[in-house]
Structure 1
């Protein structure tokens, strides 16, 4: 089956199990980070703490749910799914995977401390982080002669554009509230999710139908229904 062909291109060497697939470090980090973010938001919302990271706590919360937690979901899907969708693509594992998620952690630290270090370090690190992920998943997509899933690559670029817009807003370079930009970001994320789900469902159904002659049975059933 197509979903197992990526093993043929898997890198050689001793790779730790938690860095063996793209989804593993993402899913290890996600629960802990979601708990920390939600606890901080609840404390802020009830007036127990203040968040001086950006102009308002709502923008902090939305950004971290979308670009903090959301990045982990995007990375898990893209880095694990791309080698399966495009046989011959070398899976991103080991050192590269470690460095990518290390940069994600640095991005969270710089974002949380923007009131101390200013917005620019956080902006640069998080923009570079998304650019890196976009390049990793876009390369096999654009190498594909059929250009399948190119809409997913464009959606990643759209997410990056909105993120840049957000940081320009936080820095006061553009005259729009950060949370207004984040509402647009939410819409872009929803489009990306729909595109990803559509691709996964199509690939799964095709594999099921092609397995052990199921495709012939499917067309025979359709023909009988038509008759």
Structure 2
């Protein structure tokens, strides 16, 4: 590992870099396609490509970087580094670029390249977990199901299943994953910071039976939404899940971390889960409330918000830097959450849809542009404490 270039000394380096770069690329390409009336990006129409790449490109890269970085900590085994890591990164990048480089490639082959990456990643992580007899097998299972969601999205594009079925499955899986992982790291990091700063009062607890019940209700509601859509029963379940998630978040006492943006942003990212679930459930009861408001609250607010929070924190920690959010980091947090607000409002206020959509896009690009500006130099250098 020490002989590898710095960029290949940990999974977070190439994949967080890839996630940031792809976040900055996808939105302008999609907006340009809308403005110019481009009919296809490879075998996909622009909207389908946008949805697919935001979820299975951007979010998938972040999940990969997190998993490859967390698994060695969970198992005590050496991290995947060097040329094996480079091969994984090239595989992910190939799936992203094929629609541009080989636009005539059949959809089936593109699906095999793309989903095959996540199946291979799931197998790799499962091997590491089993050899260490670790308990985090569900993470490998979620990634394998993410690969199936990827395939389902391509099946929808081919007309074999409902068009947005794969995206629904992907959103459901990733929100459940954030609920699982967020339920560990948010209270843990909050408790550690409160103790370090010697701030008195009750400390957040780790996951307990209530947390398990919240995750179960959330998973059941989202799975029902994926399968059945916005029926009255499903919408009620989604709103119940949103209310329970709000209670769960409040138990972590995020308001006590205002002095530490790098901790506070974890709470802000997670806060979009209850809000998104409430909006998604409310869409089943109120005609004026579009389903897209809830979907974008979950996708832009919760998923991207937690991704940016984790990428900044993990990059600082794993490159031997102080866990402190500098000006560029704080600005990126603010820009992303403003982007989420603008995107949700675009769905809620049709008269200003294009203005709010473009504003959201500009803020999104600013958020991840600032992330790249601040963190690419860290990813390309050895650890500061080497």
Alpha-carbon shift at residue 192 of structure 1 (Å): 1.6
Q: What does residue 176 of structure 1 align with?
A: 162
Q: What does residue 231 of structure 2 align with?
A: none
TM-score, L = length of structure 2: 0.46
Q: What does residue 140 of structure 1 align with?
A: 128
What are the ranges of 5 or more consecutive residues in structure 1 without an aligned counterpart? 1-10, 212-217, 219-227
Q: How does 1:1-227 map to 2 (within 5 A)?
A: 11=1, 14-87=3-76, 89-112=77-100, 115-145=103-133, 147-172=134-159, 174-177=160-163, 179-201=164-186
> For 1:160 and 1:100, how far apart are their aligned partners in 2?
15
> For 2:150 and 2:83, how far apart are their aligned partners in 1?
26
Q: 1:203 to 1:97 in 2, by over 3 A?
A: farther
Alpha-carbon shift at residue 134 of structure 1 (Å): 0.9
- 3-state DSSP of counterpart to 1:91: coil
Paired residues of 1:110 and 1:121 also in contact (CA < 8 A): no
Paired residues of 1:41 and 1:61 also in contact (CA < 8 A): yes
Residue range with higher mean Cα deviation, 113-122 or 19-28: 113-122
Paired residues of 2:10 and 2:80 also in contact (CA < 8 A): yes
Paired residues of 2:26 and 2:53 also in contact (CA < 8 A): yes
RMSD: 2.8
Count, aligned residues: 197
Alpha-carbon shift at residue 144 of structure 1 (Å): 4.4
> For 2:190 and 2:128, how far apart are their aligned partners in 1?
22
> For 2:103 and 2:157, how far apart are their aligned partners in 1?
11
> For 2:192 and 2:93, how far apart are their aligned partners in 1?
37
> For 1:202 and 1:144, how far apart are their aligned partners in 2?
26
Q: What does residue 5 of structure 1 align with?
A: none
Paired residues of 1:149 and 1:199 also in contact (CA < 8 A): no
TM-score, L = length of structure 1: 0.75
Higher relative contact order (CA 8 A, sep 6+): 1
